Amino acid sequence: MLDGTGRQAGVTAIEMSVILAIIAILALAAMLSLGNVREVTEAKGAAEQVASAIHQARAYAVVHAATYEIVFPGGSQVEINCVTFCGGSPPEEGPTELIHNATVTPPGTPITFTSTGASNGGTVLVNPGAEQRTVTVTIAGRVQITPP
């Protein structure tokens, strides 16, 4: 089809190449930013798993009027154990693998909870890759997740 000047209307190969190059650059930028989002999400998920296990150990200690501890065997698992005043068959969990191939640097001693929910406190560094999170337990038994 001819335009008003007598030339054929359409897109030239150079114009099409420029458009495809722009699309390729934008796609590459999106892929790079999404890769970082995945790492951040995996780190957050693993830290939330550790925090959830810590909450569970505290709940067991309060409900069963016992002392519970949370340990990290092998640096990539989490385990909840009854330590004292355990009674008949106390609930225990683990060892459970951490998600996203996460690893932890546990505190020097296991984190323990008494029947009142109090703790000896401790800090667990969760490191599934380049992104890290710190899970901190206070002596009052509160749990907080923070970036390093």
pLDDT digits (tens, 9 = 90+) for 99-138: 988 999 998 899 999 999 999 999 999 986 678 999 999 9
Predicted TM-score (pTM) of the model is 0.76
pLDDT digits (tens, 9 = 90+) for 32-72: 777 677 788 888 999 999 999 999 999 999 999 999 999 99
4 has a pLDDT exceeding 90: no
β-strands 93-97, 133-137 pairing: unpaired
- Give the DSSP letter of residue 82: E
Contact 130, 144 (CB under 8 A): no
92 has a pLDDT exceeding 90: no
| CATH architecture for residues 13-146 | 3-Layer(bab) Sandwich (3.55)
DSSP string of 40-64, one letter each residue: HHHHHHHHHHHHHHHHHHHHHHHHT
What is the Cα gyration radius of the chain? 26
Question: In the prediction, which pLDDT does 1 show?
Answer: 54
Nearest to 145 by CA among 58, 34, 43: 43
Write down the residue that tokens 């650059």 correspond to.
25
95 has a pLDDT exceeding 80: yes
Contact 78, 94 (CB under 8 A): yes
Question: In the prediction, which pLDDT does 6 show?
Answer: 64
73 has a pLDDT exceeding 70: yes
Domain boundaries, the chain: 13-146
Cα separation of 27 and 147, whole Å?
A: 29
Cα separation of 8 and 10, whole Å?
A: 7
Question: In the prediction, which pLDDT does 32 show?
Answer: 79
2 has a pLDDT exceeding 60: no
146 has a pLDDT exceeding 80: yes
Cα separation of 148 and 137, whole Å?
A: 15
Question: In the prediction, which pLDDT does 144 show?
Answer: 96
Question: In the prediction, which pLDDT does 30 show?
Answer: 82
Nearest to 71 by CA among 63, 83, 62: 83
Question: In the prediction, which pLDDT does 148 show?
Answer: 67
Contact 70, 57 (CB under 8 A): yes
